[in-house]
Structure 1
Amino acid sequence: MVGMKSDMLLEDIRLVDKVLQGDIESFNNLVNKYEVMVLRFVYNMIKQKEAAEDITQEVFITIYNKLEMYDRKHSFSNWILQISKNKTIDYIRKNKKVYEGNIDEAYDLSSQDMSPQESAEYREVKNSVKEYIKTLEDTDRQILMLRYTENLTFTDIAEILGLTESTAKRRYYKIRENYKSFSKK
């Protein structure tokens, strides 16, 4: 995994260098590589599809305009997610509210292979988790989202959110522990 991660970092740095030399196709490659990740990250923060798409576009405009500021000591994907987080927070502040997801846009993950009872239990747990997530602070929600949807390490999560690694871990495990109490209500 470590070798794969460093290969990805080297590939990203190679693409960044090409973009800085004027190669627009390399920027398109970066957009294609990270667009879904950014869109999913932003959508999970605001739960509004059109706004998430607009913010994602703004993120890539910002990346293009500030590419020379990218610090090669850090993961390019973490830098992108930091910009995504900041753009989304700016949007939330500007609009003074966080949007709840449209029920039609929610993706139903229940499997066709489940029995009716298993399916009902799954939906109950899924709803319980959704309700619990709504009670969390933004940072805690972001920690969960980055850990589960992006499969990031605590080091990466800490870097993206501006926390220490130990703080990210402590908050993550506290979130999990508090869910046990929440789900028993």
Structure 2
Amino acid sequence: MSLQQDQYYIDKVIKGDTNAFSVLVDRYKHMVYTLAVRMVRNNEEAEEVAQDTFLKVYKALPGFKGDSKFSTWVYKIAYNRSLDYIKRLGRVPETTLIEEYAEHNKANLEDVMDQFEMDDRKYTLKKAMKKLPPDYATILTLHYFEELSLKEISKVMDASPDTLKVKLFRARKRLGGILKDKLQEKI
């Protein structure tokens, strides 16, 4: 969604049309929930974080300047709310990959075998990602699965794009090492 399309609803909310906020929530609820569930690792807690995020977004909406995409701004709030929640509970931040896709009935055996192979890869990747430090897993998730640019991630994680570029390189290298070790175990 473009900032221009979002700005229409942002302006309506600021002028007092609370129903317009539901459009923004509908657009970004999956994105916020997905990030929260990856970080807090519990569906119910992720729902609480998502609700808290949208409450914060609603209250802070008049302060949105449009310097970045609205989605990046919402992501930053969700990221910080997730970190706050984790810290409040005394946990170590963790992230995971996008949730497993729903199983579909396959028409033939070849499709089923392809699905098993894909599920095995996702499972292996998910386990490998859990072995990464939280900041590495987060940057990999945001960059590759949520397709955010380093500039957008820098706004979410409060780090310079150059720092994130180095972290992304190190995260890929470490993930590659973990996956290589896993492959050697299977051989």
Which residue of structure 2 lines up, in the alignment, with residue 23 of structure 1?
A: 17
1:135 Cα offset (Å): 2.0
Distance in structure 1 (CA, Å) of the matches to 2:14 and 2:29: 19
Which residue of structure 2 lines up, in the alignment, with residue 49 of structure 1?
A: 43
1:97 Cα offset (Å): 2.3
Q: From the superposition, tell whether residues 80 and 125 of structure 1 become closer, same or farther in structure 2 (CA, over 3 Å).
A: same
1:127 Cα offset (Å): 3.2
User: Can you give the 5+ residue segments of structure 2 that lack an aligned partner in the other structure?
Assistant: 182-187
Give the TM-score normalised by the residue count of structure 1. 0.82
1:46–1:98 contact (8 Å) kept in structure 2: no
Question: CA deviation digits over 1:67-119, x for unaligned, max 9?
Answer: 11212112111111111011111111111225989xxxx62578854564x66
Give the TM-score normalised by the residue count of structure 2. 0.81
Which amino acid in structure 1 is aligned with residue 100 of structure 2? Y
Which amino acid in structure 1 is aligned with residue 131 of structure 2? T
Which residue of structure 1 lines up, in the alignment, with residue 148 of structure 2?
A: 152
SS at match of 1:184: helix
User: Can you give the 5+ residue segments of structure 1 that lack an aligned partner in the other structure?
Assistant: none
State which of 94, 107, 112 in structure 1 corresponds to 2:100: 107
Distance in structure 2 (CA, Å) of the matches to 1:28 and 1:109: 27
Question: CA deviation digits over 1:117-143, x for unaligned, max 9?
Answer: x66654543333222211222221211
1:48–1:99 contact (8 Å) kept in structure 2: no
Where do 1:1-185 residues align within 5 Å? 8-97=2-91, 107=100, 112=106, 113-114=110-111, 116=113, 121-185=117-181
2:39–2:94 contact (8 Å) kept in structure 1: no
Which amino acid in structure 2 is aligned with residue 40 of structure 1? T
Distance in structure 1 (CA, Å) of the matches to 2:4 and 2:91: 39
Of all paired residues, the percent bearing the same amino acid is: 27
Q: From the superposition, tell whether residues 180 and 110 of structure 1 become closer, same or farther in structure 2 (CA, over 3 Å).
A: farther
Q: From the superposition, tell whether residues 114 and 100 of structure 1 become closer, same or farther in structure 2 (CA, over 3 Å).
A: farther
How many residues align structurally?
A: 174
Distance in structure 2 (CA, Å) of the matches to 1:33 and 1:56: 13
Distance in structure 2 (CA, Å) of the matches to 1:88 and 1:159: 15
1:45 Cα offset (Å): 1.0
Distance in structure 2 (CA, Å) of the matches to 1:44 and 1:180: 21
1:43–1:52 contact (8 Å) kept in structure 2: yes
Distance in structure 1 (CA, Å) of the matches to 2:70 and 2:81: 17
Which amino acid in structure 2 is aligned with residue 107 of structure 1? E
